Chain A
Amino acid sequence: MNVTLASYIRENLNPILESWKQFMEEEEEGKFFQIMSDDMIDSTAHELGELMIFSLTENNQEFARKVEEFSVKMARHGWSISFVMKALTNFTEAIYHHMGQTGFLNDNNSGNYIRLINNWLTPLNHSIVEAYSKTWERTVQLQKMALQELSASLIPVFDKISVMPLVGTIDTERAKLIMENLLQGVVKHRSEVVLLDITGVPVVDTMVAHHIIQAADAVRLVGAKCMLVGIRPEIAQTIVALGINLNDFTTTSTLQRGMEQALAITNRQIVEVEEQ
């Protein structure tokens, strides 16, 4: 029976693809064929057909591998998942349609064939969904990594003075990373004063403030001093409105003023030299 169906599909692949194209055209109102080139449609459709024949003739393991390959390829093309699923459903629809027309499918054997085709379709559906979600997960992961790389590097500016500019929203995970980088940097560069610049932090709520206070405390423990610079007016307002107590460490409005104070702490100052 498998073989009969396989050879039937192999022989009638072209008319099936024709009616599939028609289905797709009706559904997407021609949009479909603007997205893909004709060659692409043909090759993909043939591949689908071959995959189906494959499922009927080869063993399950081999088929699973093929299905995975195909799904990954689909996902790589960057088509939307709903589009791919629709194409798949329509392809099956086209096969039934064609089988019905040619009289291959009749009341006696329809149950068996439907089951056979389902055997092919279900793993493919699952596999495609999985391939897509894997691609998405990977994208999210990459973006997360990119964000982490962007965040929290300690810059040694002068001897004994370092600056850590913070950009973007701070969540617990990032706060941990910031704290680790901060402390390791302080020890590595032997800094005595660290300026935490929060100019680029859009919102300072109690959670962010809590993380900053913790980081400053930890910096004090390793033997340096932490200053909070770049406090914008709106951040000052939120901090006071939320009743956050930042009295324990020095804060200034700009990095420039913070740097002056840091130099003063380490007994240095910037002087202008006369022109020669």
Chain B
Amino acid sequence: MRTRIPILKLRDTLIVSIQWELDDQMALSFQEDLLNKLHSTAARGVVIDLTSIDFIDSFIAKVLGDVISMSGLMGAKVVITGIQPAVAITLIELGIRLEDVSTALDLENGLEKLERELED
């Protein structure tokens, strides 16, 4: 049994902090868990924090992109926070631009940004 990624709820926002490198299976179960949680709590925003992740491969990046579009379909906005410089460089070099994703420096900024976006 693999450990699952904890998804916390704070008012109408879900907070996910990914603390270790995801493998493919974990990424997929994370996708499922998050969407279920979104459905059960009717949260309007999600913050995914990647501060402790040093490496993202193309599959994980794709899953992240998918999660964001899926959450969008379910009416929730997603902000990704704390992408490390090295990770950003890798993503750009892989040609993954995560174009429609909002990003923020850290969790604090991310929550502020989410709040602002939900107000609009």
Q: How many residues on the B side are at the interface (Cβ–Cβ under 8 A)?
A: 19
Interface contact A218-B92, CB-CB below 8 Å: yes
In the complex, are the beta carbons of B97 and A222 less than 8 A apart? no
- Given A183-B89, A184-B85, A187-B85, A221 and B105 contact (CB-CB distance below 8 Å): no
Interface check B45, CB cutoff 8 A: no
CB distance from B61 to the nearest CB of A (A): 10
In the assembled complex, the Cα of A187 lies from the Cα of B106 at a distance in Å of: 9
Contact mask for chain B residues 63-93; partner A; CB cutoff 8 A; 1 contact, 0 none: 0000000000000000011111101110110
Q: Which residue of B lies closest to A215 (CB)?
A: B92
Q: Which residues on the B side are within 8 Å of A220 (C-beta)?
A: 103
Q: Does B98 contact A (CB under 8 A)?
A: yes
Which of B85, B103, B110 neighbours the largest number of chain A CB atoms within 10 Å of its CB? B85
Residues of chain A contacted by B105 (CB below 8 angstroms): 186-187, 190, 192, 222-224
* Contact for A218 among B81, B89, B106, CB less than 8 A: B89
In the bound complex, do residue A217 and residue B97 qualify as a contact, i.e. CB atoms below 8 Å apart?
yes
Q: Which residue of B lies closest to A190 (CB)?
A: B105
Given known contacts A187-B105, A190-B105, A223 and B81 CB-to-CB distance under 8 angstroms: yes
A129 to chain B, nearest CB (A): 40
User: What A residues does B80 contact at CB under 8 A?
Assistant: 221, 223
Residues of the A chain whose Cβ atoms lie less than 8 Å from the Cβ of B84: 187, 222
Q: Mark B17-36, 1 if CB is under 8 A from A, else 0.
A: 00000000000000000000
Interface size on A, residues (CB 8 A): 17
CB neighbours (8 Å) of B103 from chain A are: 220-223
Chain B minimum-CB-distance residue to A183: B85
Cβ of A180 within 8 Å of any chain B Cβ, yes or no, is: yes
Q: Which chain A residue lies CB-closest to B109?
A: A223
Contacting residues, chain B, for A222 (C-beta < 8 A): 83-85, 88, 103, 105
- A179: chain B residues at CB < 8 Å are 89, 92
Say whether B98 contacts A221, CB under 8 Å. Answer: yes
A250–B88 Cα distance when bound, in Å, is: 20
Q: Do the beta carbons of B85 and A217 come within 8 Å of each other?
A: no
B23, chain A: closest CB distance, angstroms: 22
Question: Interface code A177-219, partner B: CB below 8 Å = 1, 0 otherwise?
Answer: 0011001101100101000000000000000000000100111
Which residues of B (84-120) have their CB < 8 Å from a CB of A? 84-85, 87-89, 91-92, 97-98, 103-106, 109-110
Q: How far is the CB of B84 from chain A (nearest CB, A)?
A: 7
A192 to B102, CA, bound (A): 13
Q: Which chain A residues lie closer than 8 Å to B81 at the CB level?
A: 223
Q: How far is the CB of B100 from chain A (nearest CB, A)?
A: 11
For window 213-249 of A, CB contacts with B under 8 Å fall at: 214, 217-224
How far, in Å, is A200 (CB) from chain B's closest CB?
Answer: 24
Query: Closest approach, in angstroms, between the C-beta of A193 and any C-beta of chain B?
Result: 11
* B88 surroundings in chain A (CB, below 8 A): 183, 218-219, 221-222
Once the chains are docked, how many angstroms separate the CA of A217 from the CA of B103? 11
Interchain CA distance A62-B59 in the complex, whole Å: 61
Chain A residues near B83 (CB, 8 Å)?
Answer: 221-223
What is the bound-complex CA distance between A214 and B81, given in angstroms? 19
- Minimal beta-carbon separation of A182 from chain B (angstroms): 8
CA distance A98 to B3 in the complex (A): 90
The interface of chain A, by Cβ under 8 A from chain B, is 179-180, 183-184, 186-187, 190, 192, 214, 217-224
21 pairs from A and B in contact (CB 8 Å cutoff): A186-B85, A190-B106, A192-B109, A218-B88, A218-B91, A218-B92, A221-B80, A221-B83, A221-B87, A221-B103, A222-B83, A222-B84, A222-B85, A222-B103, A223-B80, A223-B81, A223-B82, A223-B103, A223-B105, A223-B109, A224-B105
Contacts beyond the supplied A192-B109, A217-B97: 5 A-B pairs with Cβ under 8 Å:
A180-B89, A221-B80, A222-B105, A223-B104, A223-B110
